[in-house]
Structure 1
Amino acid sequence: MLHAAVLLPFLWAALIPLMKRLPRVHPGWAVLPVPVALFALFIVLLPRVRSGEVLSATLPWMPGLGIDLSLVLDGWSLLFVLLITGIGALVVWYSIFYMSRGMESLRNFYLYLLLFMGSMLGVVLSDNLMVLYAFWELTSVASFLLIAFWYRRERSRYGALKSMLITVFGGLAMFAGFNLLYVMTGSYSIREIAAQAAGLTGHSLFLPAMILVLLGAFTKSAQFPFHIWLPDAMEAPTPVSAYLHSATMVKAGLYLVARMSPVFAGVSEWFWIVSLTGLITLCYGSFKAIRQTDLKALLAYSTISQLGLIMCLLGVGSASAFFPGTEQAVFFSLATTAAVFHLINHAVFKGSLFMVVGIVDHEANTRDLRNLGGLMRLMPVTFTIALIGAFSMAGLPPFSGFLSKEMFFTAMVNLRDFEAAGAGSWMIGFAVLAWIASVFTFVYSLILVFKTFGGKLQLDKLDNKPHEASAGLLAAPVLLVSLALVFAVVTNGLAASLIDPAVAAVNGGALTAQQAHVPIHFWHGWTPELFMTLGVVGLGLILYRTYTRLRIMDRERSGREGLNRLYNGGLNLLESGGRRGTDLYMTGSVRHYLIYILLFLVAAVGGTLLFSPNIRFGMDRYAPITFYEVGLVLVMVGSAAAVPFARSRVNAILFTGSAGYMVTALFLIFRAPDLALTQMIVETVSVILFLLCFKYLPKLKSVKTEKLTFKWLNLIVAAAVGATMTLIALAAMGSSPFVPISEYFLNGSYELAGGKNVVNVILVDFRGFDTLFEIMVLGIASLGIYGMIKLGARTKPEAGNAQQAAANQKGFPLVSNDVILRTMSRVIILIIITFSLYLFFAGHNNPGGGFIAALMTASALILLAVSFGMDTVRRVLPVNYRLMTAIGLSVAILTASGSFLFGAPFLSHAFGHFDLPILGDTELATAVLFDLGVYLAVVGVVMTIIFSIKGED
């Protein structure tokens, strides 16, 4: 069920393109059932999770690497699932009315949104760290696509790229941290790692792993100094901002910190890094929010501030790990409870406020505070939503934000009694900074509401007179912001259902939901927290009235953000440096590229062979070298050395062919008939193909009058590569500590695969994957040759080559008029075809096989073409060879997949003996069907190339 829930958004996204057939229906209506259904599904599971049950499901994926699709639903993940699906449903509803049906690429918008929803569900439900990382990066990809939805805008592209670079950087760091945890524990399971947490703190990799994981969390949740991507991400459509950048994606880092707390909490480094980073982000974001003139920028910095607040609470809450099983653990878990409660509140009020800003932008066509004001009378419902959401964000009663803010103050004040992390009485500084940040929060909340809806209406600065939004557009923010009142009334019910199970899960089971329960109510008496709230309101009102006259709080000016300048400068430096560095070696010369590759090969492989103490080059296992072997090698080397000095292409081809035929003779001497047959036929076909390509090559230029220069570097590189290959061959025979794998193939060929020809059995059974991929590569190569030649045929031939082009169209350039060849080829072709069929059927137990048989058949067809022309081949065998290639690949793949029907792995073969009429006892093997696919694919590839070069379809 959990896997189906994660998979559903992806499957639904795949159906989005089909909505082109429903042009009159807004795509959002087809998407809305997905989050609604998922929300209803998980609401049904709420009582089971509330009772302490942990739901899990596992599907094997890569068990050898310890990676399985393990999903877990506990109190913490359930809270996020409900936020993702619940707010997701409201955002989809809102987008239906916000984004017009005729908007360009609207279907893409919902496809990206579903992709993001599924990715976030995967993040919060994954128990396996590698699976979590995969979904984590998918959220970055989906976020990139959504931010860049209006990709024609330069700022949208800039914001999307910035968010991608920063969050992916953090994701890669987190990936490294996850692997360090695996090195320490031998598991990728979060639950198993948490169970071993007590023995990890002294490990040398513990602190690096912790820092790397926190880098991923801080970049995702826009913590200082990685926060700079979030304001630029506001270029995304408002529904995206309401969903990704207030309620879901930016909270993924908070989710990760809380999820990994059972592993890392209990060490002072975790407490200080998490709590101080959160506190700095809280103060910085709240101060920057006051200085913004764009409503979405103000909300962006307020989001950064609120994320810092929650991160700080999670860090402070980790102090409970210093006092396991004591009342102090419950005392400090109050901070975790406040973090969970404020996370819920933030999703409610910030989501509604983003929707309000979207409505203002939609109706007034501007988000600039300097042009707004007086909208209260024209948009009373929108004003009411903004007022409730902003006052909840400011922490004013009677809204739920007041309750979580009071708990935040309580947690900060309680830190003065915390000594375990090496802190002293100056821990009161946490409370002071929290109070100052809350003052700024109060101020920017007032700015948001009263600078937009209060004051004088400035119609002269607006394109049109605003009016109240439609009921459909208002429905989602009204429902969302009303929860700020509902949660304030039913707080203890919310705590028992969602908050307490989530806190218990964050504490790793150290506390039950009942032990983690903290009574939440408005009146606690005349406590320090209450006086702090009164001070926030008093000083906040003064600052609101005077902040425009304070230079330090002057409006933000373009380019004054030092961290943004650092990012831009660093990116420009990387681009320019990368361009200059690339220009040094990307010279456009293939010779240079080959030199780089080969020298690296020599240095890496040759150096390893020479300096590794375990490598031996002994020749005691080798048989004595015979006179025949020496003679064949000398002829082969002489033929290869003669190729560069050949004065014509025909001579070069003949020298190349002779070298290949010497290799064939060596295979015969070494008793490898399969390889000898293959080599011989490949050489024959290759020579024919070389000759066919002559008509596309320019004439050789005479070099008699040119001064020949000897390239010593080429000689050195070639000699070094040859020496390295020789060392590899010697080391393979002299240094292997294992029993040769050939023994396994020789012993198991007949027993396991029913074949006596070990070579063919390896190709179609033991190493069938290699063969399958090889024929796929051949098919792609033949299509590439076909495409390039057809593309060249469309170009108009030059005047000087007109006669040559006309001559090429007359027929096969090598058609023979020799009567003897034509007469003998009639018999020879029949013999070759018959022999190829024999090779095909006998190949499982004797020399042969589908590959060799296909080359034999192709050589017969080439001989037919040389003797009688391509038209004769077309008449004798009127088939589409590209289609034959496709059929061959399909037969091979279907045969390989057929094993699934019997519960066997891919490419498993079966064989047996059957008593057939006339034939008697006969062995039949499914490998023959796979070999048939190889046969058809190879014949199709060779003939496709031949016909392409000929210029025929």
Structure 2
Amino acid sequence: MLQVLYIFIPMLAAILVPFLYKSIKNIHTGWFVLAVPATLAIIYTTYIAKVADGEVFHAELPWIPSLNISVVSYLDGLSLLFSLLITGIGSLVVLYSIFYLDKHKEKLHNFYVYLLLFMSAMLGVVQSDHLITLYFFWELTSISSFLLIGYWFTRDASRLGALKSMMITVGGGLMMLGGFILLYLMGGTYSIRELIVLAPDLVHHPLFTWSLVLLLLGAFTKSAQFPFYIWLPDAMEAPTPVSAYLHSATMVKAGIYLVARFTPIFAVSELWVWLVTGIGILTLFWGSFFAVKQTDLKGILAFSTVSQLGLIMSLLGASAVAYHTNGAIDSIKFAAFAAIFHLINHATFKGSLFMIAGIIDHETGTRDIRKLGGLMSIMPISFTVTAIGSLSMAGLPPFNGFLSKEMFLTAMLALQNFEFFGFETWGVFFPIIAWIASIFTFIYSFYFVFRTFTGKYTPEKLPQKPHEAPIGMLISPMILATLVIAIFFIPNFVGDTFVKPAVQAIQPFLYDSPQDIDIHVAAWHGSLTPELLMTIGIVIVGVLMFVALPKWQGMYTRFPQAFTLNNAYDKLMLGLDVGLNRVSRLYMTGSMRHYLLYMFSSIAAIVIGSLFVKNAFTFSFQNTAPIRSYEIILVVVLVIGTAITILAKSRLTAIIGLGSVGYTVALFFVIFNAPDLALTQLVIETISVALFLLAFYHLPKLGKREERMRFQLNRAIVSIAVGVMVTLVALSAQSQKLIPTISKYYEETVYSKAGGGNIVNVILVDYRGFDTLFEITVLGIAGMAILAMIKLRMNRKEKTHENK
């Protein structure tokens, strides 16, 4: 149970943040918030040793037992790794935000409430073993990230970026929910672990492919894969702590986590292998190619994040190939390991780079790389951290990115060696595309660091005089940069402790425990391997193209804006806005008659159609009372009174007709031995008639246009349909009682248990006492409102009289 509660600790802490913000003015709210992720990170580190030995932890908290929905926390190697990233990077981001966000200028209570809410949502996503609760937390990440991206809501770009991210990710989440429902229909369980056990049988189900595609739509939209990546660059309008947390280490990794978690279920499918690997490698190339085009520091990092996410995704797709190799996995076994290893490395170097981009913006007043340059001597610590992160991102030693990039190239080279799924023909394109994309990765990495810190210093272009950031703002990126170097020298410690348990969770069909994974990471393998030769080629071509960048960077301006995905999104949203407005104007007429017509016709169509489809027209009149002659007369009077009310040419005649209908209903109550109801009906009807007369007395006489009431066939049809519907429902309900009526219980207990002789009074006062109490409360509130209005009117009249 305690394991489940860890998920909700940030959410519970968020409740306290506004009170701390208001009551403690002299201390930055972030210092209190920092304790939450830091404490959770320490707690999760206590699981590392046991999980590394192959142990898993499971806890369950019932949520909606009647629907078999529970919050299930499942900690294995994969979920623990993500939990450590969420809390560990989260701690560094909160520390960074304390110095980045001014406590006097920013609404810190809003920021930290959103951040803690997002943290809980992410922990719920990566630990949930229940499909429905996973979806709940998944969409909660979209909502909380919407609030974080739009934190500076006075800026148009922030609001539009937040809206775009939510539209795309929530849409993908709904598709994912459809995939989850299909999985439940196939397997009969919401548990992911149980579905993994059933995976060999699920593949033959006709819904399997649909479930696969829908689930990948959710993963691709969240992890910014092509063509859904367009929300990520616009999300850079968020404060830098948000970008460093959501868009480098957590939210965008949720899609990666989803693919990794469901790989044991879908790896058997050829479609899964091609979609995940193909979309991943395409995203890698697309993001790296267009990163060189950007002039905003966070824009460069946004497209680089898209590219790096594509790299990890392609590795996860390649890891699924191992399922089909019948044990011959030596050449492809690096794929899953490389995916998880690079995920860790990416969180370290990209988190530090996002923070440095925020520092540059904070200290110079701009992120425009065209205005920057020559900052190395002014901001030496920032330059050092940036160089470490950028060179790691470029895949150079002695930084951790070099190791995972080498393993990535190894996996891509291995794909062309398999003689199934068409890899023997098309597999050769994967290492080619990977190599070209890596060249552009090299270029934008150098572009980011050297165009910012070297070259000519132009202070006149900067909004403010630059200087090195305060040490408090530098601590977090310095820690991450230190990890970048440290992981390079202790890769096998990281691999044995964090990577192998996660790989075993991704590939349980290959490994029974993390100790079974025989992978040793080394910077030098004793010879010139093909991947090392590819890296040397990347460096040579990358340096040449970077030096010649001014000569060919202008080609990006030749791409027509009309053919971009962003323009397609804008056109789609504008078209939907205009089109839906036109549609809404067709039925939003402002006329109550039209609205009632729509509602009644829809209800009648649905109910009558359901009765036909379900063949529910089974009428039985055996237990009904005989219809007497005077009852027929009363029905005729009711019909005549209703017709008079509708067709009357004067208001007085209409009121009389309406009154006759009410009093006739009261007679029915008398006949059916319900004197209390009859008395109530008589009182209400008398008051209603009096009020109608009082109101209509002050209205002008009916004009000729009002006197003429045209017959309208559509309204007549709807009226008849509603009447038929009510009649059919009443007859069907009377004839098909599935359970005994409760009236028998009332008859037997009204005197013995309630101590009353009048069954109606006892039901209202005892059996349904709360209903009556609430009705009396409503009447009391209405009465007090009327009294207040009368007194207000009288006070106004008194003041007017005094003024005169």
Q: Same fold (TM over 0.5)?
A: yes
Match of 1:822 in 2: none
Query: C-alpha deviations, 1:670-694, integer Å up to 9, x for none?
Result: 45x4xx6346425524643674587
Letter of the aligned partner of 2:232 in structure 1? L
Q: Distance in 1 between matches of 2:756 and 2:18?
A: 48
Query: Is the CA contact 1:376–1:383 (under 8 Å) kept in the aligned structure 2?
Result: yes
Higher RCO (CA 8 Å, separation ≥ 6 residues): 2
Note closer, same or farther for the CA distance 1:850–1:682 as it changes in structure 2 (3 Å cut). farther
State the shift of 1:711 in Å: 2.6
For the residue of structure 1 that corresponds to 2:428, the secondary structure is helix
Larger deviation, residues 1-10 vs 935-944: 935-944
Superposed, which structure 2 residues align to 1:574-653 within 5 Å?
Answer: 574-610=576-612, 613-617=615-619, 619-644=621-646
Q: Distance in 2 between matches of 1:30 and 1:558?
A: 49
Query: Is the CA contact 2:666–2:682 (under 8 Å) kept in the aligned structure 1?
Result: no
For the residue of structure 1 that corresponds to 2:332, the secondary structure is helix
For the residue of structure 1 that corresponds to 2:244, the secondary structure is helix
Query: Is the CA contact 1:193–1:263 (under 8 Å) kept in the aligned structure 2?
Result: yes
For the residue of structure 1 that corresponds to 2:702, the secondary structure is coil
Query: C-alpha deviations, 1:243-293, integer Å up to 9, x for none?
Result: 001110000000000011111111111000000000000001000011111
Match of 2:256 in 1: 254
Larger deviation, residues 387-396 vs 655-664: 655-664
Letter of the aligned partner of 1:392 in structure 2? S
Q: Distance in 2 between matches of 1:73 and 1:539?
A: 44
Letter of the aligned partner of 1:725 in structure 2? V
- TM-score, normalisation: structure 1: 0.78
Note closer, same or farther for the CA distance 1:125–1:650 as it changes in structure 2 (3 Å cut). farther
State the shift of 1:561 in Å: 6.1
Match of 2:530 in 1: 528
Note closer, same or farther for the CA distance 1:678–1:350 as it changes in structure 2 (3 Å cut). farther
Q: Distance in 2 between matches of 1:147 and 1:462?
A: 26
For the residue of structure 1 that corresponds to 2:133, the secondary structure is helix
Letter of the aligned partner of 2:85 in structure 1? L
Match of 1:14 in 2: 15
1:848 aligns with 2:761: yes
Query: C-alpha deviations, 1:891-949, integer Å up to 9, x for none?
Result: xxxxxxxxxxxxxxxxxxxxxxxxxxxxxxxxxx9x69747844752552564465367
Q: Distance in 1 between matches of 2:353 and 2:551?
A: 27
% same residue: 47
Q: Distance in 2 between matches of 1:385 and 1:698?
A: 84
State the shift of 1:414 in Å: 1.5
Match of 2:570 in 1: 568
Note closer, same or farther for the CA distance 1:121–1:697 as it changes in structure 2 (3 Å cut). farther
Which residue of 25, 39, 50 maps to 2:52?
50
Match of 1:700 in 2: 699
State the shift of 1:615 in Å: 2.7
Note closer, same or farther for the CA distance 1:14–1:551 as it changes in structure 2 (3 Å cut). closer
Q: Distance in 1 between matches of 2:213 and 2:190?
A: 18
Which entry has the higher C-alpha Rg, 1 or 2?
Answer: 1
Query: Is the CA contact 1:293–1:556 (under 8 Å) kept in the aligned structure 2?
Result: no
For the residue of structure 2 that corresponds to 1:366, the secondary structure is coil
Which residue of 163, 171, 174 maps to 2:173?
171
Q: Distance in 1 between matches of 2:95 and 2:567?
A: 38
Letter of the aligned partner of 1:726 in structure 2? T
1:118 aligns with 2:120: yes
Match of 1:684 in 2: 683
Which residue of 289, 293, 302 maps to 1:287?
289
Match of 2:218 in 1: 216
Output the aligned Cα RMSD: 2.7
Match of 2:134 in 1: 132
Match of 1:415 in 2: 415
Query: Is the CA contact 2:304–2:441 (under 8 Å) kept in the aligned structure 1?
Result: yes
Match of 1:518 in 2: 519
Match of 2:802 in 1: none
State the shift of 1:82 in Å: 0.5
State the shift of 1:850 in Å: 7.3
State the shift of 1:559 in Å: 3.8
Letter of the aligned partner of 1:597 in structure 2? M
Superposed, which structure 2 residues align to 1:467-866 within 5 Å?
Answer: 467-508=467-508, 510-511=510-511, 512-525=513-526, 526-550=528-552, 553-554=555-556, 559=561, 562-610=564-612, 613-617=615-619, 619-644=621-646, 655-671=657-673, 673=674, 677-678=676-677, 680-681=679-680, 684-685=683-684, 687-688=686-687, 691=690, 699-703=698-702, 705-706=704-705, 708-713=708-713, 714-734=715-735, 736=736, 739-742=738-741, 745-746=742-743, 755-756=749-750, 842=755, 846-849=759-762, 851=764
Query: Is the CA contact 2:374–2:454 (under 8 Å) kept in the aligned structure 1?
Result: yes
State the shift of 1:580 in Å: 0.9
Q: Distance in 2 between matches of 1:465 and 1:395?
A: 33
Match of 1:352 in 2: 352
Match of 2:324 in 1: 322
Query: C-alpha deviations, 1:283-321, integer Å up to 9, x for none?
Result: 010000111111110000000000000000000001122
State the shift of 1:620 in Å: 4.8
State the shift of 1:111 in Å: 0.9
State the shift of 1:174 in Å: 0.6
Note closer, same or farther for the CA distance 1:619–1:260 as it changes in structure 2 (3 Å cut). same
Note closer, same or farther for the CA distance 1:948–1:631 as it changes in structure 2 (3 Å cut). farther
Q: Distance in 2 between matches of 1:622 and 1:702?
A: 47
State the shift of 1:506 in Å: 1.2
Larger deviation, residues 408-417 vs 613-622: 613-622
Query: Is the CA contact 2:323–2:509 (under 8 Å) kept in the aligned structure 1?
Result: no
- TM-score, normalisation: structure 2: 0.92
Letter of the aligned partner of 1:108 in structure 2? N
State the shift of 1:646 in Å: 5.9
- Give the length in aligned residue pairs: 787
Query: C-alpha deviations, 1:525-580, integer Å up to 9, x for none?
Result: 21111111111111110010112212665469894661111101111110000111
Match of 2:198 in 1: 196
Query: Is the CA contact 1:660–1:680 (under 8 Å) kept in the aligned structure 2?
Result: no
Match of 1:87 in 2: 89
Note closer, same or farther for the CA distance 1:296–1:682 as it changes in structure 2 (3 Å cut). farther
Q: Distance in 1 between matches of 2:231 and 2:697?
A: 56
Note closer, same or farther for the CA distance 1:283–1:374 as it changes in structure 2 (3 Å cut). same
1:394 aligns with 2:394: yes
State the shift of 1:494 in Å: 1.1
Q: Distance in 1 between matches of 2:584 and 2:126?
A: 41
State the shift of 1:641 in Å: 3.0
Unpaired stretches in structure 1, ≥5 consecutive residues: 762-840, 854-924
For the residue of structure 2 that corresponds to 1:57, the secondary structure is strand
Note closer, same or farther for the CA distance 1:72–1:665 as it changes in structure 2 (3 Å cut). farther
Query: Is the CA contact 2:59–2:72 (under 8 Å) kept in the aligned structure 1?
Result: yes
Q: Distance in 2 between matches of 1:250 and 1:323?
A: 30
Which residue of 934, 940, 948 maps to 2:780?
940
State the shift of 1:642 in Å: 3.0
Q: Distance in 2 between matches of 1:698 and 1:493?
A: 91
Match of 2:797 in 1: none
State the shift of 1:638 in Å: 3.0
Note closer, same or farther for the CA distance 1:739–1:294 as it changes in structure 2 (3 Å cut). closer
Unpaired stretches in structure 2, ≥5 consecutive residues: 794-804
Query: Is the CA contact 1:689–1:946 (under 8 Å) kept in the aligned structure 2?
Result: no
Q: Distance in 2 between matches of 1:929 and 1:666?
A: 26
Query: Is the CA contact 1:547–1:554 (under 8 Å) kept in the aligned structure 2?
Result: no
Q: Distance in 1 between matches of 2:387 and 2:212?
A: 41
Query: C-alpha deviations, 1:10-53, integer Å up to 9, x for none?
Result: 11111122121222221111211110111011011212212212
Q: Distance in 2 between matches of 1:611 and 1:310?
A: 50
Q: Distance in 2 between matches of 1:843 and 1:434?
A: 85
Letter of the aligned partner of 2:141 in structure 1? T
Letter of the aligned partner of 2:40 in structure 1? L
Letter of the aligned partner of 1:684 in structure 2? V
For the residue of structure 2 that corresponds to 1:150, the secondary structure is coil
State the shift of 1:662 in Å: 3.3
Letter of the aligned partner of 1:21 in structure 2? S
